[in-house]
Structure 1
Amino acid sequence: MSASTATTLTDIRSLSLEELTSALVLMGERPFRAKQVYEWLWKKGARNFDEMTNLSLALREQLKAQFSFPVMTLDKQQRSLDGTIKNRFRLHDGHLIESVLIPVEADDRFTVCVSSQVGCSLTCTFCATGRMKRLRNLTAAEIYDQVFLVNEQCLEVYGKPLTNIVYMGMGEPLLAFNSVLGSIDRITSHTGLHMAPRRLTVSTAGIAKMIKKLADADTKVNLALSLHAADDEKRNEIMPINETNNLEVLMESLEYFYAKTKKRIGYEYITFQDFNDTLEDAERLYQICRRVPSMVNIIEYNPIDNAPFRKSTEHRIDDFATYLRDRGIMVTVRRSRGKDIDAACGQLANKE
């Protein structure tokens, strides 16, 4: 089959089970065949039609003629001294994305950080991905593939399956809303990977109307807001999205999310030396945390080329965290992993 012919075919993984059933019935198959195919797609993670060995050869050939089956391939892999593994995947159209396996063996926790877009359009000043153009959203299948392939990697390298998924890689998940929602369905459904929704966290730079939309979708996943500054002036400076989604608007959306889901909000807060790491900043963050049940992840800054920021000292970070803890706020200080391979928070940029 030529490439041009393949592009005119419907991607089989874009179909719901109901749509797949209708298509196979039109091909003269019994409805249960669709369930078999669907299981190969989303539970067994088949990479092509030939792997569907409980289907007849004739049906597999029919499927090849009717549908395309685009998949991603591993383009490059890097291993950090701390055990973190960064994967660069090549998509069917040649675009590149990155996913990161973050092992914390002491806690028996293995997390994959997945991308949702090729590039990003939000231009946060501290993030390498934000300097790339957004070329397109990933499909639900491409997000799912990251999870499936990195889970296989985790089993091979560490002998354990993934325990957590975070939508914190390249791109803004809530601007790829339908794809993200579709991937959540396939990852959590009993017809897919059947992971518990509480193991999934969607991170956003802060798009208020989409936060409400996620709440209405009733996915039962966790939500994290990449906050990084607790007043509008500073947040506008580092995150242009704040100019149209200021903190008061965001807080209203987070209160809506909590009222709908009863899920505690996570705040991601990168500390920058002499910018947002003073006790006055901690007090402003405390006032935000009082609005809705929440927890704070304080993240050390990972330098990127030509950015005007410096990493806060451990002493400043510890004082900041202590200030919040003394006021009853749940705080975790996250020491970055994978820095030596540009796999840490804010560093994903498809660098050679």
Structure 2
Amino acid sequence: MNTLSQTDIRTLSLEQLKDFFVSIGEKPFRAKQVYEWLWKKSATDFEQMTNLSQATRQRLAEHFSIRPIRIAQTQKSNDGTIKTAFSLHDTHLIEGVLIPTPERMTACVSSQVGCSLTCKFCATGYMARKRNLDAAEIYDQVVQIARQAEENYGQPLTNIVYMGMGEPLLNYKNVLQSVELLTSPEGLGMSPKRITVSTAGIAKMIEKLGDDEVKFNLALSLHAANEQKRNQIMPINETNSLPALTKALQHFYQRTKNKITLEYILFYGFNDTTQDADELYRFSKKVPCKINIIEYNPIANASFLNTDEDTLLRFQRHLEQKGLVVNVRRSRGKDIDAACGQLAVKEGE
């Protein structure tokens, strides 16, 4: 049977699985067993479900398919970062990254095939958006990258960042469902405090995150706290202005009490002056937050350059003297195009 014409069993809820088992004359508790195999044990084949009879496994295979993502290629950076190109069931490719540090093992996962936001400094922004990833495809990236952490470093995965390809808040339902699968006791049972979802700034969806009272962390890719400059590098700002984002972030904080992370790439001669730092300071005072200054990773399509070390330190100190918490995030995996803003796959089209 053509598995592409079958329903992927991982799109079914526990209730729908129960209904299926009842419809074939089986006990409803079988659904819980299958659900556990899928989301706790990350099974990718019905034959792995050894506490089900052969006949039951056969019935499942007749009605459903499981379509896990596959590893197409991996590259290891000089600094230990591992970038993986994953092949999806419809032959699209996405990328995920394992970022190892002495303190943590972080999986950076994608939420879309390509991206529709056209940020001028990001390689993924120069790709077309093909489609959203479903929750299982996001979950699979975490499972595979967690395996790499164990195999290469003998360490469990500690953190997940939705900072790969795509804008997570434009795939809202599937992203939240994937977080549920990763954090629920019926799934991988990770702490939501170890998960960060990064957005370029979709104001109404940030408000919705607040209304849904999410438990994970939110990061805003800000990169300029000046309307004109942000419009230049992030066209999304034209419809999601800084005042609109401020209002949305305040709503999010009010509902979740989660401090926001502001991500700020320093571009040489563009947003790295003391005046830019002052604008960032004024924006940051409107909502409880911390600031991550990110090293820029140049890409072929854009002419931006990373700022120099002296300017970066001056910018950081200026903010710290005003009482802000500022971390500098150094690039990892730059030599294999695995660093922030460098993910882009060529699908041979």
TM range (shorter): over 0.9
**Which residue of structure 2 aligns with residue 239 of structure 1?**
234
Q: Which moved more, 1:159-168 or 1:212-221?
A: 212-221
Q: What RMSD, in angstroms, separates the aligned Cα atoms of the two structures?
A: 0.9
Measured in 2, the distance between the counterparts of 1:51 and 1:97 equals 26
In structure 2, what residue type is equivalent to 1:44?
Answer: K
Amino acid at match of 2:122: C
Amino acid at match of 1:125: K
Partner amino acid, structure 1, of 2:52: L
Correspondent of 1:177 among 172, 186, 189: 172
CA apart distance, 1:7: 2.8
Q: Is 1:333 matched with 2:333? A: no
Q: Which runs of 5+ in 1 are unaligned?
A: none
Q: Does 1:322 align with 2:317?
A: yes
In structure 2, what is the equivalent of residue 347 of structure 1?
342
Q: CA deviation at 1:19?
A: 1.2
Q: Secondary structure at the match of 1:333?
A: strand
CA deviation string 1:55-87 (max 9, x = no partner): 111111100111121111100000000000000
1:23, 1:295 → 2: CA distance? 48
Residue 218 of structure 1 deviates from its aligned partner by 2.0
Aligned residue type for 1:221: F
Q: Distance in 2 between matches of 1:163 and 1:351?
A: 30
Tell me, in whole angstroms, the C-alpha distance in 2 between the residues paired with 1:306 and 1:17.
Answer: 45
Alignment of 1:13-52 (within 5 A): 13-52=10-49
The separation in 2 between residues aligned to 1:325 and 1:162, in whole angstroms, is: 31
Tell me the secondary structure at the aligned position of residue 166 of structure 1.
strand
Comparing 304-313 with 258-267, which one deviates more in the overlay?
304-313
Where structure 2 has 5 or more consecutive residues not aligned to the other structure, the ranges are none
* Counterpart code for 1:34: A
SS at structure 1 position matched to 2:253: helix
Q: Which TM-score applies when normalising by structure 2? A: 0.98
Counterpart of 2:40 in structure 1: which amino acid? K
Letter in structure 1 aligned against 2:38: L
Contact 2:331 2:339 in 1 (8 A): yes
Quick check: 1:188 aligned with 2:207? Answer: no
In structure 1, what residue type is equivalent to 2:265? I
Q: Which of 115, 119, 128 is the equivalent residue of 1:120?
A: 115
CA shift for structure 1 position 48: 1.1
Aligned to 2:294: 299
Offset of 1:351 from its aligned partner? 5.0
The 2-side partners of 1:59 and 1:324 are apart by 62
Question: Which of 181, 184, 195 is equivalent to 1:200?
Answer: 195
Task: Select the residue among 135, 139, 154 that pairs with 1:140.
Answer: 135
Query: SS where residue 83 of structure 1 aligns?
Result: coil
1:70 maps to 67
Residue 203 of structure 1 deviates from its aligned partner by 0.3
Q: Separation in 1 of the partners of 2:31 and 2:194?
A: 29
Aligned position for 1:81? 78
Matches of 1:64 and 1:351, distance apart in 2: 33
What is the identity, as a one-letter code, of the residue corresponding to 2:98?
L
Deviating more after overlay: 53-62 vs 136-145: 53-62
Report the counterpart of residue 306 of structure 2 in structure 1: 311
Task: Provide the C-alpha distance between the structure 2 equivalents of 1:28 and 1:150, rounded to a whole number of angstroms.
Answer: 38
Instruction: Give the TM-score taking structure 1 as reference length.
Output: 0.97
In the alignment, the residues of structure 2 paired with residue 7 and residue 306 of structure 1 have an alpha-carbon distance, to the nearest angstrom, of: 36
Structure 1 residue 88: deviation in Å? 0.4
Q: What is the distance in 1 between the residues matched to 2:58 and 2:211?
A: 41
1:217 shift after superposition:
1.7
- What count of residue pairs does the alignment treat as equivalent? 347
Which residue does 1:94 correspond to in 2?
91
| Aligned-partner Cα distance in 1 for 2:278–2:233 | 19
> Secondary structure, in 3 states, of the residue corresponding to 2:89?
coil
Task: Please tell me whether the aligned partners of residues 123 and 301 of structure 2 are also in contact (alpha carbons under 8 angstroms).
Answer: no
Q: Which runs of 4+ in 1 moved over 3 A?
A: none
2:253 to 250, 258, 262: 258
Q: What SS does structure 1 have at the residue aligned with 2:84?
A: strand
Mapped to 2, the partners of 1:123 and 1:153 lie a distance apart of: 31
Is 21-30 or 331-340 further displaced after alignment? 21-30
Matched, 1:160 2:155: yes
1:332 aligned counterpart, secondary structure: strand
For residues 65 and 214 of structure 1, the distance between their equivalents in structure 2, rounded to whole angstroms, comes to 39
